[in-house]
Amino acid sequence: MLPCFYLFLPFAPNGRKPRVRPINPPDGPYPMPKFLLASALLAATSLVSVPALAAEPAYDLAAQKAKLATIPMAVDTKFLSAEERDVVNLLIKASDLMSEVYLRQRYAENPQVRRAVSMNRRADRDLLVEMFDRNFGPWDELADLHPFWGTTPMPEGAGFYPEDLTRADFEAYLAAHPEQKAALTSPYTVVRRDGAKLVAVPYSVAYKEWLEPAAKLLDQAAARTSNASLRKFLSLRAKAFRTDDYYESELAWMDLKDTPIEVAIGPYEVYTDRLMGAKTSFESFVTLKDPVESAALAKYKNYLRDMEANLPIAEEYKNFQRGFESPIAVAEQIRGGGDNVPGPQTVAFNLPNDERVREAKGAKKVILSNVLGAKFERILKPMGALVLVPSQAAQVDRKYMQLETLFHELSHSLGPGTIVVNGQTTTVDKALKEQNSAIEEAKADVAGVWDILLMMQKGEIPAAERPQLFATYVAGIFRAVRFGAVEAHGKGAALQYGYLRAKGAFTFDAATKRYTYDDAKMEAGLRDLLHDMLMLQAKGDYEGTKAFMARWAKLDPEAEGVIASMADLPVDIRPVYPEGI
């Protein structure tokens, strides 16, 4: 299901304007206004107040900032017609509105917090503001959401639920008010308190201030394009912003064709909802498709049935119910918005997530080749030399980073989807709740390698390149664990490390501080791990998944040592896109 994802620089050197604007921006030397001082005294722990200077000494804001390498992204747009250029520029504007919505989805009071951050008198104020904007709030995505402003942890329910609502309280409320369950757990509502009651507020109402202008921009883009499929998608998506019914527009998105403009915009991922894994976050990817590269990879989608059949689980758990339509696009990103901006950048996405659309039609995979290429050169290639013995490190290969990414995305369409738990029909993501994001990401990683091995058996990919496959995979685990143990991909990577290490898939040499993978044990370990994860999903085993993650999703001192040796390498990139084309 879930794709995978994150630029933000107010007062940026390239002159782009800040996407998060403080309300009533302060214009002077930022003295603390009297009303804020008063509220600080009243609520000493509030994020909106100015926290005490005594912060955690171990956390280094400047070092955290340096974890992302800033890379200006030049995209070739010369081949676009004047009409296409106009459409793209409208989409860029709509994209920026997704960031406004997501800022509030992450934390309802974020605009006020940013104002407090921007008006504080600490010497590192500018750095704090920049980190706030990069992270869409005062919690560091690359440090397990460590608060760098105040000490309040980020609410598990982000801005989607009342801040004090616990999972247990919410579930008890749902049990007592079954008539409200559908609305309160909808992917397209926020939950608010109304006295003792909980009420569901539709996104179209809660975020109207930004969704209505975004809908107008999509309507304008629809009116400008001469491509019927793009016009249909944009019109339906504009309607969905006003009605919260995304189904028809998701179907239309699957049918985009004969246009280089590949745009995803709307509420998609549930990663930010760590309370229930139910609420979708707004984001956008504005991309331009590469027709030649897209065609080269399209052949693999014809094997989706074979890949499902090849999963290492009993026949009864395999899922042939889904649509196997799977458009594949290789594209260059020219803008991101909302959920995909903070933290690690998405190299590919696989949408939509709506299981009804996936079963009716399948899902589309979009590989962001310029983002992927930048990460390979700046991170994965140099990382390989720190993780693996030299002979294996030399095998780390961009081709396999791209293939593993593609097959990771294809694998989100494999395995259990709609399942029956205790006689009730449900879906894996509903049954596994907040546990599902990390295990689903790990499943997609491991199944992706498993699928490539199948393609090697079938002669579609040279079997002689197995060393490149495994070396790139092992280096990739270390790339992802650096995202942290809270972020779904980071946690999923820690699971793969812990499990495969225990199976002897790789060994550590204490003298050289490098790993050597074992070809046969790697293949066996991948099969066992994939089997175990798929069965937890097939059974919708929430408690089992929790225990499985607790047992295996851990790093040992050797891994911590290797990760420490990567301190000078960026954790990820922060692409800077042009304001318009």
Q: Which is nearer to Zn ion, 189 or 427 (CB)?
A: 427
Inter-CA distances, 314 with 291, 310, 415, 532, Å: 38, 10, 11, 12
Q: Which is nearer to Zn ion, 140 or 445 (CB)?
A: 445
Closest approach of Cβ 429 to Zn ion, in Å? 13
Closest approach of Cβ 243 to Zn ion, in Å? 29
Q: Which is nearer to Zn ion, 22 or 267 (CB)?
A: 267
Inter-CA distances, 489 with 4, 281, 518, Å: 8, 17, 24
Cα–Cα distance measured from residue 345 to residue 7, given in angstroms and rounded to the nearest whole number: 9
Q: Does 4 bind Zn ion (CB under 5 A)?
A: yes
Closest approach of Cβ 415 to Zn ion, in Å? 13
Q: 422-461 mask for Zn ion (x: CB under 5 A)?
A: -------------------x--x-----------------
Alpha helices, DSSP H, located in 120-226: 125-135, 167-176, 178-184, 203-206, 208-224
Cα–Cα distance measured from residue 129 to residue 137, given in angstroms and rounded to the nearest whole number: 9
Tokens, residue 178: 């079954």
Q: Which is nearer to Zn ion, 4 or 329 (CB)?
A: 4
- Would you call 243 exposed, middle or buried from its count of C-beta atoms within 10 A (0-12, 13-18, 19+)? middle
Q: Does 530 bind Zn ion (CB under 5 A)?
A: no
Closest approach of Cβ 489 to Zn ion, in Å? 7
DSSP3 helix / strand / coil % (the chain, rounded to 5): 50, 15, 35
Q: Which is nearer to Zn ion, 260 or 448 (CB)?
A: 448
- Of 1-9, 137-145, 187-195, 537-545, the window that binds Zn ion (rule: CB under 5 A) is 1-9
| Contact criterion met (CB below 8 Å) for 41 and 374 | no
Which long-range contacts link 60-67 to residues 24+ away (Cβ below 8 Å)? 61/124, 61/127, 61/128, 61/131, 61/148, 62/124, 62/127, 64/131, 64/140, 64/142, 64/143, 64/148, 65/127, 65/130, 65/131, 65/134, 66/570, 67/142, 67/570, 67/571, 67/572
Binding residues among 50-89 for Zn ion as defined by CB under 5 A: none
Q: Which is nearer to Zn ion, 264 or 562 (CB)?
A: 264
Q: Does 406 bind Zn ion (CB under 5 A)?
A: no
Q: Which is nearer to Zn ion, 138 or 338 (CB)?
A: 338
Sheet strands (E) in 459-534: 506-509, 514-517
Q: Which is nearer to Zn ion, 417 or 578 (CB)?
A: 417
**DSSP 8-state symbol, 143:** G
Closest approach of Cβ 210 to Zn ion, in Å? 27
Q: Which is nearer to Zn ion, 386 or 401 (CB)?
A: 401
Tokens, residue 247: 């189904």
Residues that bind Zn ion (rule: CB under 5 A) add up to a total of 3
Nearest residue to Zn ion, scored by beta-carbon proximity: 4
Closest approach of Cβ 276 to Zn ion, in Å? 20
Closest approach of Cβ 123 to Zn ion, in Å? 40
Closest approach of Cβ 492 to Zn ion, in Å? 8
Closest approach of Cβ 14 to Zn ion, in Å? 30
Binding residues among 200-219 for Zn ion as defined by CB under 5 A: none
Footprint of Zn ion (CB under 5 A): 4, 441, 444
